[in-house]
Structure 1
Amino acid sequence: MRQRNPFVTCAAIAVYLFLYIPLVVVAIFSFNDSRLNAEWVGFTLKWYRQLAANDAMLQAAANSLIIAGCAAVMAGVLGTFAGVALHRFRQKWLTALVLGPVAMPDILIGVSLLLTFMLMNISLGMVSIILAHVSFCIGFVALSVQSRMAGMDDSLLEAARDLGATPWQSFRLVTLPLLAPGIIAGMMMAFTLSIDDFVVTFFTAGVGSSTLPLEIYSMVKIAVTP
């Protein structure tokens, strides 16, 4: 049995501490009875009571969850087909088309989508936000699926075809189960990116379709409680 490298173990622990200690501190200080939160004053639940009574914030959070869920599902379906196409055809123009939104700045995507929605006479709202999020999430799902396809054994598909399976049957019964981890990972990434997005949502959101990042930003401009 190979022994673990103590340096690697210590480095891994240090990275996880660096990532999670700030989150733990924020969680602890959410119970702090201080508006400035600069030092610990005492334990309180009043900030959570204020949050529970804030209908605008709760509605924005619900909108974010709905948008992120729809974007993850739609990007998962479209990104799966895009990832399979990237692996099989290996065309440079196809790679640039699918992965372009991944490399483009958010503000450029937001402005481009806003102009597109205006030209297509699509009203800004929940639908426009979902379509916008799907457009930049597809590339991340496609990357995950493409990397999964690269590690697959193509002889499995050939064996399925030799046994009489149709192209759809071989994809549904062989390819899709093998791609499931990559698809799920891509959908989780899409969900995270969607629920956290601000710039693209800022350009494509309409009246009454505020998300959690937009709502927090609008509160920070005036005054926001802990």
Structure 2
Amino acid sequence: MRRSRWLHVPFWATYVFLYAPILVLVVMSFNSGDSAYTYEGFSLEWYGELAGDERIMSGVVNTLIVATGSTVIATVLGTMLAVGLARHSRSKTLDALALMPAVLPDLVLAIGLLLFYGLIQLTLGLYSAVLAHALFSMAFVAAVVRTRLTGADTSLEEASRDLGAGPFTTFMKITLPQLAPGIVAGALLAFTLSLDEFVIAYFTIGNHEQTLPIVIYSMIRFGVTPKINALAAILLLVSFTAVIAGQRMTKIGERMPRAQD
């Protein structure tokens, strides 16, 4: 039975609806004029101006610090959490609690973290934003690594223990190499989420530092300019690259058990 060609129309219409605004933003970032809404010709001048803007460069540095620091913490803790849930616990309640930060609204999580920091009298700064982003991203890392664990070969771990290896040696030499693609994919996802996160950073970073999303927010209050379009286009490129790389690592991890068989 042949499928009707009309069935492809909703599919492609959905993609156009999703990506047409992004395409317009990227095209307008190469606008030679000062207007963000009228295309006057091709130019790279706005990308050149980004490098000379101290506020934007400071936001880039702060964003990279927060994203890198939170990714390291989230990857380590998320991997440990996934292994603990998969190997040492069968509680559905614990599974739900582990994923709770990922499904909570960002605003609720941000306000809760702000109140908690106030309760323990922690001064806000880059380190508080790093901890907040790590908490948010850890759930996503745990979910990705947990998925990878479901396809891992447990017989290798059992053989390692039967041969006298301890839990730590078994984890480092058997479990960790099998989880490596999932861990890398989770780390890339955590980095991307931290890179673009605005609400949690806005509430937990304080008044002295600003990440790039906060800088963009403060700039668009006075109107959208081609410089903002150029900055957003660069963020899109970095995000897409990280997401695609994470997807590729996940597929590589899925093919590894078949290759071993």
Deviations 1:158-198 (A, max 9, x none): 11111221111110000000001111111111111111011
Deviations 1:136-168 (A, max 9, x none): 111100011111111112111011111221111
Deviations 1:40-83 (A, max 9, x none): 21223332232222100111011111111111111000000000
What one-letter code is carried by the residue in structure 1 that aligns with 2:79? T
Tell me the distance in 2 between the aligned counterparts of 1:185 and 1:206.
Answer: 30
Q: Tell me the equivalent position of 1:34.
A: 33
Displacement of 1:19: 6.2
Deviations 1:99-130 (A, max 9, x none): 11011110000000000001111111101000
Q: Secondary structure at the match of 2:72?
A: helix
Q: Note the residue ranges of structure 1 that are not aligned, 5 or more in a row.
A: 1-8
Tell me the distance in 1 between the aligned counterparts of 2:140 and 2:100.
Answer: 11
> Could you say if the C-alpha distance between residues 211 and 19 of structure 1 is closer, same or farther in structure 2, counting changes exceeding 3 Å?
same
Q: Tell me the equivalent position of 1:47.
A: 46
Conserved? CA contact 1:47–1:225, under 8 Å: no
Displacement of 1:95: 1.6
What one-letter code is carried by the residue in structure 2 that aligns with 1:83? A
TM value normalised by structure 2: 0.77
Q: Tell me the equivalent position of 2:185.
A: 185
Q: Secondary structure at the match of 1:193?
A: helix
> Could you say if the C-alpha distance between residues 222 and 21 of structure 1 is closer, same or farther in structure 2, counting changes exceeding 3 Å?
closer
Tell me the distance in 1 between the aligned counterparts of 2:126 and 2:205.
Answer: 7
Conserved? CA contact 1:68–1:195, under 8 Å: yes
> Could you say if the C-alpha distance between residues 208 and 111 of structure 1 is closer, same or farther in structure 2, counting changes exceeding 3 Å?
same
Displacement of 1:208: 2.2
Matches within 5 A, 1:71-220: 71-88=70-87, 89-220=89-220
Bigger mean CA deviation after superposition, 18-27 or 74-83 = 18-27
TM value normalised by structure 1: 0.88
Same amino acid, percent of matched pairs: 45
Q: Tell me the equivalent position of 1:6.
A: none
Conserved? CA contact 2:28–2:37, under 8 Å: no
> Could you say if the C-alpha distance between residues 11 and 222 of structure 1 is closer, same or farther in structure 2, counting changes exceeding 3 Å?
closer
- The number of residues matched between the two structures is 221
Tell me the distance in 2 between the aligned counterparts of 1:15 and 1:73.
Answer: 36
Q: What is the Cα-based RMSD across aligned positions, in Å?
A: 2.5
Tell me the distance in 1 between the aligned counterparts of 2:12 and 2:188.
Answer: 24
What one-letter code is carried by the residue in structure 2 that aligns with 1:158? E
> Could you say if the C-alpha distance between residues 10 and 71 of structure 1 is closer, same or farther in structure 2, counting changes exceeding 3 Å?
farther
Q: Secondary structure at the match of 1:36?
A: coil
